[in-house]
Structure 1
Amino acid sequence: MLDLTKLARQMQGLSQHLSLEAAASRERLELAQRHLKKAYECQQGVVELQEKWRDRILFANATPIEPLNTCITIPVPPKVHTVVATDGSQIAPNHHEIAYCYLLNIGRVILHYGQNLHPLLDSLPEVFYRPEDLYVSRQWGIRTEEWMSYRRTASEATVLAELACGVQGEVPMLAMVDGSLIYWFLEQLPMDARDRILPPILDAWQQLRDAQIPLMGYLSASRNIEGMNFLRLLACPHPIPDCVSYCPNQLENVPCKVFESLRDTTLWSTQLQPGQRSPLWRSNAKILDLYADQKIYFCYVHVGTEIARIEVPAWVAENSAMFDQALGLMLAQVQKGYGYPVAIAEAHNQAVVRGGDKARFFGLLERQMIKAGIKNVGISYKEARKRGSIA
């Protein structure tokens, strides 16, 4: 039980700290705005410097593909269109439950507009209980709980491609996922583990590419700083941006980290009007070297309620007509969802496993185990005590 009386004593210090942070953030924002204006005049030179020294730069930074002062109004989407989305949830394995297994539940949504068709709103559950599913990740030092989330990411992409490619008709379409298309977690995985997660995702994306269905990742409240890190190249006091030689320890207070903790979205909130997008950027994340020709591009969009980060594969970004139409469909989804894409929100609602669902899942499992003749079926004493109190 939370003791609010004791907690209240700490709130004053927290509020003072947040006030100081807000003032410091305003100063960093003003400095970033000055560097952005400076970058307007020498953008090509900075890009060339970035490309020449990219192997010596130790922080993630993106490359602007369009002029940095680009602010483009997103076109109105066609009235007749279809939006497809998936999202996932899970029941994690627990040694204290009646059986050690885990469940993935992928929410599926197809929304048809202007076509007089019923939507699809359902979920696709899958239970994993075999030793090769539960313990295969141990050989790489990966906990089962972590491996489960990686498997879920791959399943979301696979189901999305199957869903979108199975829709009949020639109307404009958009396939959406919640979150980034840059799977940063893959960097820390051994090659054998990575080969079980990434190839199914790239295969699913290729299916969408062959069907000419644009894929989009929608990031709300993005914490990304790849764009701000491009401006760090202007703030570098050294003759060349050679971090390996001049600033090998990036944890120290290096000279160019004047924008530290300032997000891309904070800067673009001062540049964009509702319904506008920022310039297009190409991410230079190391993990994208494994994506072959499906590199990830992104831009920031003022959707009215926030600045959202929008990510698309290269084949979408390079097709200007497809990209513009996809942005229009995305913005319409945000408006229909009162600030967040309705298709992604509904996919989440279909996928989420609530407390009652979890109880019914284990209840069904218990009945099957008893039916199979397994005795002493039950949770551990620790779990039983945690679910109730004698106090």
Structure 2
Amino acid sequence: MTYQFANCSIDPDKHALHRDGLPVHVEPQVFELLLVLVERQGRLVTKDELIKTVWRGLNVSDATISARMNAARKAVGDSGRDQAIIKTVHGRGFQLIVEVRNSSEMVAAAPNRATAHSIHFTQSSDSAKIAYSQSGDGPPLIRAAHWLSHLELDLHSPVWRPLIEGLESNNTLYRYDQRGTGLSTRDLEGADIDAFANDLKAVADANNLDRFPIFAASQAVPVAIRFAQQYPRRVTGLILYGGYAKGRALRGASHEDIDEGTILGLIRTGWGKADSPFINAFSSLFVPDATASQMASFVRMQIETISPENAARLRQIIDRFDVTDILHSVSAPTLVIHAISDAVQPIEQGRILASEIPNAQYVSLESRNHVPLPQEKSWSQMMYVIGTFLEGLSL
């Protein structure tokens, strides 16, 4: 039986460990240690249990156990500092803190997902080609396109895959690549907020969706608000994560905000260079608490989904979105979620959205990541409020 967890899989029969689809060589004791943690599926494993199962009752020192645990963390892309996958419970033992799925569960789910995520194209109002996909089962939910998505790469990303799986767990999820990035047209000529709203409409029309909620993150938030203002009868609800009402270039100087010049400088200096300290610095603004594998995936996503020129151009476009004057006209039920210490979009922008959109519900998360990460304590809170909000829309 094969187990899948985070971006890893472990097969006890073949004595094989894979991370991001690639084989990882580990010593036999490290493999056994990982297997014990995986088989416990989140339950605490004491040092005595490890000694009994991994070392067959031999008397070993704490230093030996710590060394093997460090090797196990390294093998799965974790570290003692991050503890995003393997957590040390001081004085008690160790715990795997990510979801574990076994092969039987994955096979059982396969019939519903056999044709999931197949990619199609539709044409927007200005003839731009927009790539989209459909997955999951249940009421429709559109995930509005945001900065640097890629319909194929997202499915293998330890950053984006957990979010996709969460959103499609009880809904038919429609997601698409933003123009300028991913599999959609790379042409950004004449792109503005209305063009991006028209792309959302094109995806909804292509799938014959008359009424639906929208999940929007970051710069997709003003796009979703613009769409909801233009087509109020089509939008049954808005989930707005880490968004803003007025773009960075229009907000003026603030001690909580990163100025546009800094962002553009990092892009122009290091984009497309995987080992560049500039692209790593840029990525750290978005996901400061990412694990090594998450950060590597995030950097790869940037490099493979958009050119340096388009990356800078897209930032300039979205940093000039402004929906301040239409917030009061949004009639759809709205959930606003914002990380308290978000360095990309300051929390003040979330408060503006929640206070100006009529009857909006506001939830703040104890986090400093602009992109939600599944190992954070706030992740469960976020997914719970999203699920509860969507359930309420269907009542």
TM over 0.5: no
Q: Which has the higher contact order (CA 8 A, sep 6+)?
A: 1
| Structure with bigger gyration radius | 1
More helix by share: 1
TM-score by length of 1: 0.26
Structure 2 length-normalised TM: 0.26
